[in-house]
């Protein structure tokens, strides 16, 4: 089937323009073009309106790209295909529920992480675009920057800044091979106590920022694999793929809950259909405990009496018996630990991960409390 190629140039006030309609599935060209140089955001509302009805049922699909970063204003699907040697398996750095993640260097020289979403990962182009626009505006030292995206037909590629040390998940579990804090480990050293505290604070800062935007953004899937680490163990929260904005009660935007077992607050599991900021606080509390203990909250393990327990339940039991120090990850140097700080961290972590959302602090309160606890 051959469809005519229609060149549509949609101009928009202070903005950006896009391009092509396509031949069946073969020729896929996605050209992004930012024609007003000095513009920070390249997608304008008026253009979004013009593109409101991509008609995939006619065999015609729309290609577009957008960049939210001035250094990236001409990225196209063709470029992404080139720099990844057609999404070569050698460049894969991760595999998540939405698709594969590749590392690449763009023509501009920037090193980026490309998340190629599987075809069914996102709904319509319009919803996708609205979501990307929101996320593209976020600039915060503890939130992974989304630099832009490229969409062609059902292909969607998200462009993120590359965070060099990868995910916290890998650092907690893949690399710390020995129960030994003195080094001599092949892949990397276990993370020190101080760096763990730094990571916890970084995540708290990033989350507090999102929760306190005029239109708060709920992450909904806070977990160790969604925390990326830079060279100095600064934390950057990744993956807003599941996030939606809360716009009061009259919202038509889906706010369905989603998440990962072990990190999911009980109210999501038992009925609640709306994600809340308190839900994120729960996941944050679990993450905080996980970082100190070095055990995955998603895997139940045998407790005292041989019965399977999850991380938070186990910690609550241990706290009742005053057994704090033995919960701390064995790969952290004992000399680094101050018992009263350890105790406070566990108590506060379980408060954040309280079953009852009314007892959990807000992220602002979390930051204040951490400032008091951590020396």
Ligand X SMILES: *[C@@H]1O[C@H](CO)[C@@H](O)[C@H](O)[C@H]1NC(C)=O
Ligand Y SMILES: Nc1ncnc2c1ncn2[C@@H]1O[C@H](COP(=O)(O)OP(=O)(O)OP(=O)(O)O)[C@@H](O)[C@H]1O
Q: Which residues bind ligand X (CB under 6 A)?
A: 38, 40, 338, 340-341, 375
Q: Which does 375 bind (CB under 5 to 8 A by kind): ligand Y, Mg ion, ligand X, none?
A: ligand X
How far, rounded to the nearest angstrom, does the alpha carbon of residue 224 sit from its chain's CA centroid? 10
Question: Could you say whether residue 96 binds ligand Y (CB under 6 A)?
Answer: yes
- CB within 8 Å of 18: residues ≥ 6 apart: 8, 10, 31, 32, 33, 47, 51, 62, 63, 64, 65
In whole angstroms, the minimum distance from the beta carbon of 70 to ligand Y comes to 19
Q: Tell whether residue 351 is among the known ligand binding residues.
A: no
Residues 154, 216, 360: CA angle, nearest 5 degrees = 120
The tokens 């990326």 sit on which residue? Answer: 228
Q: Is 221 a catalytic residue?
A: yes
Distance (Å, whole) CA 308 – CA 322: 21
Distance (Å, whole) CA 237 – CA 353: 19
Instruction: State residue 227 phi and psi, 5-degree precision.
Output: -115, 115
Pick out residues in 115-174 that bind Mg ion (CB under 5 A).
Answer: none
In whole angstroms, the minimum distance from the beta carbon of 112 to ligand X comes to 20
Pick out residues in 230-249 that bind ligand Y (CB under 6 A).
Answer: 238-239
Pair 324, 343: CB distance under 8 Å? yes
In whole angstroms, the minimum distance from the beta carbon of 32 to Mg ion comes to 25
For the chain, give me the number of helices (H) and strands (E)? 10, 14
Pick out residues in 124-153 that bind ligand Y (CB under 6 A).
Answer: 144
The DSSP bridge pattern shows strands 146-152 and 155-161 to be: antiparallel
In the three-class reduction of DSSP (H, G, I as helix; E, B as strand; rest coil), residue 72 is classed as helix
Q: Which does 40 bind (CB under 5 to 8 A by kind): Mg ion, ligand X, ligand Y, none?
A: ligand X
In whole angstroms, the minimum distance from the beta carbon of 340 to ligand X comes to 5
Determine which one of 69, 155, 221, 239 is catalytic: 221
- Which span sits near ligand Y by CB under 6 A: 146-154, 164-172, 243-251, 288-296? 164-172
Pick out residues in 220-239 that bind Mg ion (CB under 5 A).
Answer: 226, 239
Distance (Å, whole) CA 220 – CA 193: 27
- List residues bridging with 302 in a β-sheet: 308
- Which span sits near ligand Y by CB under 6 A: 121-129, 160-168, 271-279, 351-359? 160-168
Q: Give the footprint of Mg ion on this chain (CB under 5 A).
A: 96, 226, 239
Q: Give the footprint of ligand Y on this chain (CB under 6 A).
A: 93-94, 96-98, 101, 113, 115, 144, 160, 162-163, 166-167, 169-170, 225-226, 228, 238-239
Name the binding residues. 115
Active site residues: 221
Name the binding residues for ATP. 115
């Amino acid at each position: 089937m051959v469809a005519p190629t229609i060149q549509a140039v949609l101009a928009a006030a202070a903005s950006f323009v896009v391009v092509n309609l396509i031949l069946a599935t073969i020729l896929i060209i996605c050209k992004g073009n930012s024609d007003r140089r000095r513009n920070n955001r390249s997608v304008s509302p008026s253009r979004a309106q013009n593109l409101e009805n991509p008609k995939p049922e006619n065999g015609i699909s729309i290609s577009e790209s957008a960049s939210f970063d001035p250094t990236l204003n001409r990225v196209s699907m063709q470029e992404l295909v080139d720099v990844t040697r057609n999404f070569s398996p050698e460049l894969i750095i991760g595999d998540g529920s939405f698709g594969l993640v590749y590392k690449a260097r763009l023509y501009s020289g920037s090193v980026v992480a490309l998340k190629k979403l599987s075809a069914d990962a996102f709904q319509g182009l319009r919803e996708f675009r609205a979501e990307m626009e929101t996320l593209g505006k976020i600039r915060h030292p503890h939130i992974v920057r989304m630099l832009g995206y490229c969409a062609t037909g059902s292909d969607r590629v998200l462009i993120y800044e590359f965070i060099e040390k990868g995910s916290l998940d890998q650092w907690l579990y893949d690399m710390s091979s020995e129960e030994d804090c003195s080094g001599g480990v092949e892949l990397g050293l276990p993370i020190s106590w101080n760096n763990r505290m730094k990571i916890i604070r970084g995540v708290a800062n990033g989350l507090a920022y999102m929760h306190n935007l005029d239109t708060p953004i709920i992450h909904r899937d806070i977990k160790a694999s969604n925390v990326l680490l830079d060279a100095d163990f600064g934390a950057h929260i990744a993956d807003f793929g599941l996030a939606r904005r809360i716009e009061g009660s009259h919202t038509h935007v889906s706010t369905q809950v989603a998440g990962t077992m072990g990190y999911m607050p009980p109210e999501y599991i038992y009925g609640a259909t709306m994600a809340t900021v308190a839900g994120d606080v729960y996941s944050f509390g679990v993450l905080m405990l996980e970082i100190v203990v070095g055990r995955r909250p998603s895997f139940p393990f045998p407790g005292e009496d041989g019965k399977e327990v999850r991380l938070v339940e186990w910690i609550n039991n241990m706290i009742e018996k005053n057994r704090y120090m033995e919960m701390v990850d064995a790969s952290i140097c004992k000399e680094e630990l101050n018992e009263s700080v350890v105790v406070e961290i566990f108590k506060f972590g379980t408060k954040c991960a309280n079953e009852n959302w009314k007892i959990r602090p807000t992220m602002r309160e979390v930051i204040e409390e951490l400032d008091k606890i951590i020396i």
